[in-house]
Amino acid sequence: MSTYRVCFFYKRRFRQATAEAPMELRELFERYSENGAMGVEQLQRFLVEVQGEEGVTREEAQAIIDSVLRDSKYLIWFPKKGEGSLGLDSFFRYLFGESNPPLSPSVHHDMTAPLSHYFIYTGHNSYLTGNQLSSDCSVVPITNALKRGVRGIELDMWPNARKNNVDILHGRTLTTPVELIKCLKSIKEHAFSASLYPVIITLEDHLTPDLQANVAEMVTQTFGDMLFYPKSDGREEFPSPEELKTRITLSTKPPKEYLESKSFKDKDSGSISVKEDVEDAWGKELLGLKSFLDDEDKESFKIIVLSDRNGSEHNHDEEDLDDGDHTINQSIAPEYKRLITIYATKPKLGLREALKVDPNRVKRLSLSEQELAKASHSYSTQLVRFTQKNMLRVYPKGTRFNSSNYNPLIGWMYGAQMVAFNMQGYGRSLWLMHGKFRANGGCGYVKKPDILLKADENGHIFDPKAKLPVKKTLKVVKVYMGDGWNLDFHKTHFDMYSPPDFYTRIGIAGVPADTIMKKTQIMEDDWTPVWNEEFTFPLTVPELALLRIEVHEHNQSEKDNFGGQTCLPVSELKTGVRAVPLCNRKGEKYKSVKLLMRFKFV
């Protein structure tokens, strides 16, 4: 029983329900057991016929039984190894346990294709601890990103105050700098703590040639043999993740090209610059700075803003910023240039020219989220064709001062490999990013689907805007029940006067035709809600679809309370009955909270 106090004297008592197997699972157990016990042969048959584990062996089924029976709470008797059986309770706990996940925990994609064939887990301004204007720059967010499996780290390099060393900071803001060498050492220490596949360091370069030479020395001395760089200038294709395993590589654009690309015009469709859009939003965004700037910072930043706007020097997207210290004709330090593996560019002669595929040389093109959205209207299939061989990096628009993010599908639909995100916050967009890279064992590299890598049988390039027929149906997404909140939360966390009233929102994030959200009924006053509800999702592009799952606690008088979330790549879902762990707002997995669900495709 759990007791809740109402007013001063009145108490309400609620019976604490324990998680029990739903009727459908009881029926499955009866079908695959004899006399109340499921032996190794019966479990093997269940794993093949219900769970879709086609290649499971008798030895693997026996290992599952041995693992479950090691927990004495679920012993039917004390068997010798290889002699035990599962009862209903132990069978249910296996299905609801850590050893029955919805995704494969191992790397299983082909990792020998060029880097351009993969979606890459990519960070934006990876050194920032908070907002884009006044937060500290630190190695901590870099370390946290690498531990999560992020493979793309971005560093903005600027001369320090004395012009004799290199700092990392968000230029023309009030962010406090951190030394480049500290960032490099942090990357070296944590680069392969979560994945052995390569780390790509994107360098935004605002340096003079002498400081570039310093950077080259720091990079080579810090990383040593871990550093990969090309033996010759230019490549016909990028190396593969397998080739670059346990290696670190650099991607940057030299200052000469950096300044030349400051302003560009598409001769065929007009400018794709977003300067006017950003400046229209600038005043509105500035009004919101009070939430994270003190009075002195506001005044200082006001001077910076007015200076930039009056001078009309840039559109406030950080990749178009100019530090004002370079000339177009300056040289680049040769020892620095030779370390660049992924050569970055911005469109200078218009996007049509930039998207032309050079058969003899690969490159990386960078576009802001706004530029990509505008370009997709006129160059939809050209973008897809470009990313089949070359790399496209998409970064947040310059007015996302609070480090928010955009819908990553706008990049993935066109094959963009490096959809760069602010990893330090939280929100539904970031949850999608986390979900995407739970695929392929969480190694940070996800092989792009064939529709984005080659033309179809009629020679047509995939067009995300085209109306397509249903290709696959996620026929059964059944939400049986949830459990674990009473272990991870205080009894009054959701409601002061009673147990929580949970419901689940479930749906698809994908191409526009597939995107939808649905929800279960509300289960009142229950820490272990049982919904037993089933949903169907027809999908036109299942290869890009993510299954979104959120649990909320209904609150009649205020905003509903958050109870957990996760996103799962549909193409990676294991069929059958699966335990789905939920995460907090930041994407960190709860210790105990899970949903029991069933998945089936037709």
Angle in degrees, CA 229, 230, 233, rounded to 5: 130
CB within 8 Å of 29: residues ≥ 6 apart: 21, 38, 88, 91, 92
Instruction: Give the integer Cα–Cα distance in Å for 522 and 368.
Output: 41
CA 276 to chain centroid, in Å, comes to 30
Q: Is 483 exposed, middle or buried (0-12, 13-18, 19+ CB in 10 A)?
A: buried
Single out the catalytic residue among 108, 109, 117, 124: 124
Distance CA 143, CA 578 (A): 32
- Burial-class residue 472 by CB neighbours within 10 Å (0-12, 13-18, 19+): middle
- Say how far apart CA 95 and CA 97 lie, in whole Å: 6
Tell me phi and psi for residue 480, to 5 degrees: -75, -60
- How many whole angstroms separate alpha carbon 539 and alpha carbon 470? 5
CA-wise closest residue to 504 among 529, 527, 487, 536: 529
Catalytic residue of the set 109, 170, 314, 434: 170
Q: Indicate if the alpha-carbon torsion angle 233, 237, 242, 243 is positive or negative.
A: negative
Can you tell me the distance from the alpha carbon of 327 to that of 344, in angstroms, rounded to the nearest whole number?
19
Indicate the SS3 state at residue 196: coil
Say how far apart CA 119 and CA 439 lie, in whole Å.
11
Token pair belonging to 187: 């990357």
If we measure between CA atoms, which residue out of 464, 456, 450 comes closest to residue 376? Answer: 464
Phi and psi at 547, nearest 5°, equal -85, 115
Q: What are the tokens at 338?
A: 């030779």
Cβ proximity of 365 and 337 under 8 Å: no
Query: Are the beta carbons of 152 and 122 closer than 8 angstroms?
Result: yes
Q: How many CB atoms lie within 10 A of CB 284?
A: 9
In the numeric block, which tokens belong to residue 13? 């008592």
61: exposed, middle or buried (Cβ count in 10 Å: 0-12, 13-18, 19+): buried
Q: What residues have CB less than 8 Å from 541, skipping those under 6 apart? A: 451, 464, 468, 471, 510, 511, 513, 514
Identify residue 242 by its one-letter amino acid code: E
Active site residue 316: no
Query: Greatest CA separation found in the chain?
Result: 84
CA distances 299 to 294, 296, 352, 369, Å, are 9, 5, 42, 29
Annotation marks residue 124 as catalytic: yes
Positions marked active-site: 124, 170
